[in-house]
Structure 1
């Protein structure tokens, strides 16, 4: 390399354009990390070399938010604006020379999406596709999408989805569906077996009463599945009065499953039956059926009881405040809670005296627990006893995990006296504890920290750390 070029490459001299010396492969990688096509195009001002390099980047992000606002204001020009949008996108695609689209994100109307997808899928390969349709639109996707051999990630958000009769996605590894329950009931069990390489599945279902009047039986039988998320949520008042009740039964047979996330905010009897989750590593449960004071809640509680027992192989477990309150009610019922012999890390939302009561009971079922996180998040609908006893009731015997295995405790907020007493109990009886971290947000919690720091300790090597946390506003 000549001396002049070497100096330029090393950034010596005045007004040197160091960016221009980067290889194209590195520039493509940098631009591919940007969130939208608009941001990628604007990087052209950074360097003369970057002026047109965006056309070679394998990402496209198309959102007609501006057009959508115009259409709402001038409804009579709807078709013309739709045509203008498609023409604009076609011009942009004409300049887009990259043979394979790494990531394509569309947030536009159904007809426009179909037009654009038909063209792109016919001319190029797509590996990562995200499509968000407007409310009450039928997602009409081209048939070529459902037989793509290059598609690896597919994320769809829509109310209604029309699927092809021919489905074969051999390379698909990630599938996210945010959709109405009617599609899950009618099509999903036929869809999943045609994705032989699927590793991650996320299903979000909503608006149950308005669109479906039948129970749901869903079988997820995927040998390659590693991550699974399930959400069943109603829209506020659709179950007002608690008279509406559906049963949704989900059976999972996934011997490689490592991560499971369940959120259920419905009135229905919810069960998770599993014949193949012995390799489960991490599980998160947020369970809150709509309470009906006129009907017995025992079947709902026992359903949750069985769900928790199915998670006994997990190494990491997180339970929301609503989940804990319902589980605490199940302890007085006949039945046996399984021992979580593999559990190493536990996160509990202990807001409210009932949830602290659950903590005292549940620790005896986690004999090998090493890490404990106690959150204190007051959630909407979370019951807090107005006649709060303000005291901690320790278990009858010190749990084995507290005596011999608990190494670290993280406390996020201290609002009541019984919470302080619970932490002091753990600190006093934990013989191998290395660290207790308390995240404080106000002066009251600082006083609680001082009280805890003076408490006796079961481990001579333990340290107490105070961290100040402030909510971003």
Structure 2
């Protein structure tokens, strides 16, 4: 008979997991956490180096906030401790990674991610990081992600050998990284995802050179900064299905060519430069986001894009894009016969523009209207409803979403017009402006609740 006073030895639940499941769980964690957990399982310590083929390092793991340890620390004490930590952060971070690298053959690594959320010294950039990347580039590497922001503009020259790593499937480069023009043709036959948002390319043609070496690329994120001077040509590969362009340059791109019959998702942000644009058919695009700086030279670009996107099902127009369209006195908005969902950020609550959109979208089911964050210059102005009614409003439009609603006369008049004519409208969701008091919100809710409605299935969602 077992003596009840003698407790059984506790079972280590980690040791009961199959190795395949255990190490798969570790791949979901930063490498530092994975190492600590693995050390708690004596049976698996010796296998750590051979099984862990996904390395994820961040120097944030080597920092802690003193206030978390002692809530009585004032700001000056916290910053003092943080400064002392940063002085030793370089050494601890580099030593840890070097220790992991010394335990195994790095060319068996499948995924490698490194994120430096704080500046490290020049030695880190010029020696340690370069040596790590050179070590992991090999026939098994499938994913490489570098996130290297720097407030002091310490730059890292990416080793050219990365562009001949034929096993790469995903490559992400963010921060003060400089891309050098490869001395030999880029050969990335398996690359499907490319994200580039870096400090510079030398020369600027390096971007196009890299893209030419990616024959089956499907997802492209391209961020350009003011350091990219005189970008002559960007040719988007025809295989791309998702394309995001964020252009923050102050210089003109001579030509951006999008000849991508497979493209399904398009997101373009242009903050200042005057982009020269060439586009063929975008008939397969189902979702498009346009945030294009309001400048006279961009008017034709926006209209060319909208005409090319006439078969899209989801369209997001930011405030700057709408301002660009409004530069044209007689706006002739193209018809979107397939559009189901549109999101608009309105300058000065221009509801006449909203009606123009509704008139050109006969199948529209959902519309989101958000007020631009700029101060409203005409808050007390009234909006005069038109005598005509868009077809979608009486046949397809089932959901309207307002963001930043303040109950201005224009908003009230437009909402009353929509509710009175929305025969199939099911839901009006109103997110009020953060500055409103509880009394103001209650008054707006009562006002909306008492408006006449044409739909017998209508419900109001108010926040």
Pairwise same-fold verdict (TM > 0.5)? yes
* Distance across 2 between alignment mates of 1:374 and 1:46: 53
Residue 380 of structure 2 corresponds to residue 406 of structure 1: no
User: Helix, strand or coil for the counterpart of 1:307?
Assistant: helix
* Distance across 1 between alignment mates of 2:428 and 2:412: 13
* Distance across 2 between alignment mates of 1:371 and 1:50: 53
* Distance across 2 between alignment mates of 1:413 and 1:437: 11
- Structure 1 residue runs without a partner (length 5+): 1-11, 240-244, 290-296, 469-473
Residue of structure 2 equivalent to 1:261: 267
- Structure 2 residue runs without a partner (length 5+): 1-6, 64-78, 117-123
Decide whether the 8 Å contact of 1:127 with 1:151 is kept in 2. Answer: yes
Deviations 1:347-392 (A, max 9, x none): 11135233x33212221111111111122351xxx4x452444322
* Distance across 2 between alignment mates of 1:390 and 1:14: 77
* Distance across 1 between alignment mates of 2:94 and 2:146: 16
* Distance across 2 between alignment mates of 1:137 and 1:438: 47
* Distance across 2 between alignment mates of 1:353 and 1:406: 20
Of 194, 197, 202 in structure 1, the residue corresponding to residue 221 of structure 2 is 202
Residue 336 of structure 2 corresponds to residue 345 of structure 1: no
Decide whether the 8 Å contact of 2:208 with 2:233 is kept in 1. Answer: no
Residue of structure 2 equivalent to 1:29: 24
Deviations 1:235-265 (A, max 9, x none): xxxx6xxxxx635532201111000001111
Of 133, 137, 141 in structure 2, the residue corresponding to residue 117 of structure 1 is 133
Of 385, 408, 415 in structure 2, the residue corresponding to residue 394 of structure 1 is 385
Residue of structure 1 equivalent to 2:275: 270
* Distance across 1 between alignment mates of 2:46 and 2:454: 65
Residue 288 of structure 2 corresponds to residue 283 of structure 1: yes
Of 410, 415, 419 in structure 1, the residue corresponding to residue 411 of structure 2 is 419
Of 235, 238, 252 in structure 2, the residue corresponding to residue 246 of structure 1 is 252
Deviation at 1:412, TM superposition (A): 2.0
Deviation at 1:282, TM superposition (A): 0.3
Deviations 1:87-108 (A, max 9, x none): 6433211224687433211345
Distance 1:396 1:219, change over 3 A: farther
TM-score (norm 2): 0.80
Residue 112 of structure 2 corresponds to residue 95 of structure 1: no
Decide whether the 8 Å contact of 1:202 with 1:228 is kept in 2. Answer: yes
Residue 40 of structure 2 corresponds to residue 40 of structure 1: no
Distance 1:353 1:375, change over 3 A: closer
Deviation at 1:110, TM superposition (A): 4.2
Deviation at 1:401, TM superposition (A): 1.1
Residue correspondences, number:
419
Of 352, 355, 359 in structure 1, the residue corresponding to residue 354 of structure 2 is 359
* Distance across 1 between alignment mates of 2:91 and 2:41: 34
Residue of structure 2 equivalent to 1:6: none
Deviation at 1:201, TM superposition (A): 0.4
* Distance across 2 between alignment mates of 1:49 and 1:327: 66
Decide whether the 8 Å contact of 1:217 with 1:250 is kept in 2. Answer: yes
* Distance across 2 between alignment mates of 1:427 and 1:126: 57
